[in-house]
Amino acid sequence: MAGRGRTSGVSAVAVCLLLASLLACGGHSAADTARAEVQHLLDRRAAAVLHHDPAAYARTGTRAPYTNLKAVPFAALSYRVTGLHRSGGVATADAELRYRLTGYDRAPVTAGRTLTLSTAADGTWYVDSDQPAPKSAQQLWDQGAVSVVRGRRSLVLGVGQTTGTLHGYADLADRAVPEVSAAWGTDWSRQVVVLVPRSLRQMAALLGSPASNYRGIAAVTTGEAGGTGKAPADRVVVNPDAYGILGPLGKQVVLTHETTHVATRAHTDPATPLWLSEGYADWVGYRDTGRTPEQVAPELQRAVSGGSVPAALPADKDFGFAGDSTRLAQAYEGGWMACRMIAGHWGEDRLDAFYRAVGAHGTRAGAVEDALRRVLGTTMAAFTARWQEYLRTQLG
């Protein structure tokens, strides 16, 4: 029995040594080793971008993406491997991409990526492709070589656009920033990042949504950078198809509107109804243009002059891009009229205070009602009735 016990112990040691790589005795599995190697590879690839080293980038695999993103002014760029699926000498990696733009982002933008990899004869891993993960939006460099124009208060990145065109966007954004600060105040970054893709389809890809959702929409604001990193907006994404047909005033109003979303984002949360966030952005956009209610709110004017005064302030669902275009226009116009009414009757400072008070409530239920009572000294019923009468007098 003693001999058998000694033999079993020797066998156990042999098995332990043989399977060390498979964690049988506390070692690292082949999968863990491969994942660590891929992480190291992606660390080197990100460092090559940050150090503007195309040769080092090429040593990590396909060099095609480098041409597209080399002009992007990254302050930070990193990948974190979240999963690895290996089959022999090929693998698919799930990764989280995090990056910040120099001088603009206080917190990183994050994006899901899927990378395919393969090994050389010596077992070294190389990147074959780097694409958006399923259900993740594209990055601008996924669409082609990025061109960059820096304004005084703006950073404009485009694909398939001339430098002159991008300078035009920068000039408009540079004018928008002080206009927004004059209305809202200076407690924001006072700068804006504008993305200009090649077309509506590419714009939608940057937003991870169908192109049909944005047809006729000149621009939207989205992203995760800036502030605490939890804010839902900090990139103005342009639809060049719709934006290009606007006149000079329309283009300025659009960029000022979107820049307002950037400025107000820290005070905009689920408690804020869209009639307030969109109406306020339009109010800032049109604030110094001299445009009349009839000019700014033609769809609502048609309804009111025909005797159809809205029974309530616009609901969030009325702002759906994929819905009825007339209802969408009336929703924006109704929100603008409400904010214009507040500024005219209670004053611009009270309008700003009202906006901030609604966002500070934290939850939607009771947010507007509480802010109406505390800031404007009124009730929801009285406010709605005043708004309806305002529509009649201004648009009837």
Q: Token pair 């924001």 is at which residue? A: 188
Say yes or no: 167 and 101 in one domain.
Answer: no
pLDDT of amino acid 231: 54
pLDDT digits (tens, 9 = 90+) for 293-331: 999 999 999 999 999 999 999 999 999 877 788 999 999
> Which among 82, 107, 136 is the end of a domain?
136
Give mean pLDDT, residues 178-187: 98
Q: How far is CA 245 from CA 241, 251, 274, in A?
A: 7, 9, 26
pLDDT at 31 over 80: no
pLDDT of amino acid 312: 98
Q: Let me know if residue 14 belongs to a domain.
A: no
pLDDT at 27 over 60: no
Which of 4-13, 120-129, 220-229 has the weakest average pLDDT?
4-13
Would the CA dihedral through 12, 15, 17, 19 be positive or negative?
Answer: negative
Say yes or no: 273 and 396 in one domain.
Answer: yes
**What is the total count of domains within the chain?**
3
Say yes or no: 179 and 252 in one domain.
Answer: yes
The residue among 124 and 3 whose pLDDT is bigger is 124
pLDDT digits (tens, 9 = 90+) for 4-15: 333 344 444 444
pLDDT digits (tens, 9 = 90+) for 344-364: 999 999 999 999 999 999 899
* CA pair distance 7, 13, nearest whole angstrom: 10
CB contact at 8 A, 192 and 236: yes
- Which long-range contacts link 327-334 to residues 24+ away (Cβ below 8 Å)? 329/298, 329/299, 329/300, 330/299, 330/300, 330/303, 331/274, 331/275, 331/278, 332/278, 332/279, 332/282, 333/296, 333/297, 333/298, 333/299, 333/300, 334/275, 334/279, 334/297, 334/300, 334/310, 334/391
Mean pLDDT of the chain: 91
Which of 14-23, 167-176, 311-320 has the weakest average pLDDT?
14-23
Structural domain span for residue 242:
138-263
Say yes or no: 248 and 337 in one domain.
Answer: no
pLDDT of amino acid 320: 86
Domain of 34: which CATH number? 3.10.450.50
Say yes or no: 300 and 393 in one domain.
Answer: yes
Residue type, 267: H
32 band by pLDDT with thresholds 50, 70 and 90: confident
* CA pair distance 14, 136, nearest whole angstrom: 48
Q: Let me know if residue 20 belongs to a domain.
A: no
Say yes or no: 300 and 371 in one domain.
Answer: yes
Q: Let me know if residue 10 belongs to a domain.
A: no
Say yes or no: 148 and 194 in one domain.
Answer: yes
Give 93's contacts (C-beta < 8 A, 6+ positions apart): 38, 42, 81, 83, 84, 85, 114, 115, 116, 117
* CA pair distance 378, 383, nearest whole angstrom: 7
CB contact at 8 A, 92 and 117: yes
Q: Let me know if residue 8 belongs to a domain.
A: no
Residue type, 111: A
pLDDT at 223 over 80: no
The bridge status of strand 154-158 relative to strand 192-196 is parallel
pLDDT of amino acid 106: 87
> Which among 136, 163, 185 is the end of a domain?
136
Q: Let me know if residue 71 belongs to a domain.
A: yes
Helix or strand (DSSP H, E) at 111: strand 109-119
383 band by pLDDT with thresholds 50, 70 and 90: very high
DSSP class per residue in 183-222: HH-S-S---EEEEE-SSHHHHHHHHTS-GGGTTT--EEEE
pTM: 0.89
The residue among 316 and 225 whose pLDDT is bigger is 316
> Which among 211, 246, 263 is the end of a domain?
263
Say yes or no: 194 and 216 in one domain.
Answer: yes
pLDDT at 373 over 50: yes
Say yes or no: 312 and 256 in one domain.
Answer: no
The residue among 226 and 321 whose pLDDT is bigger is 321
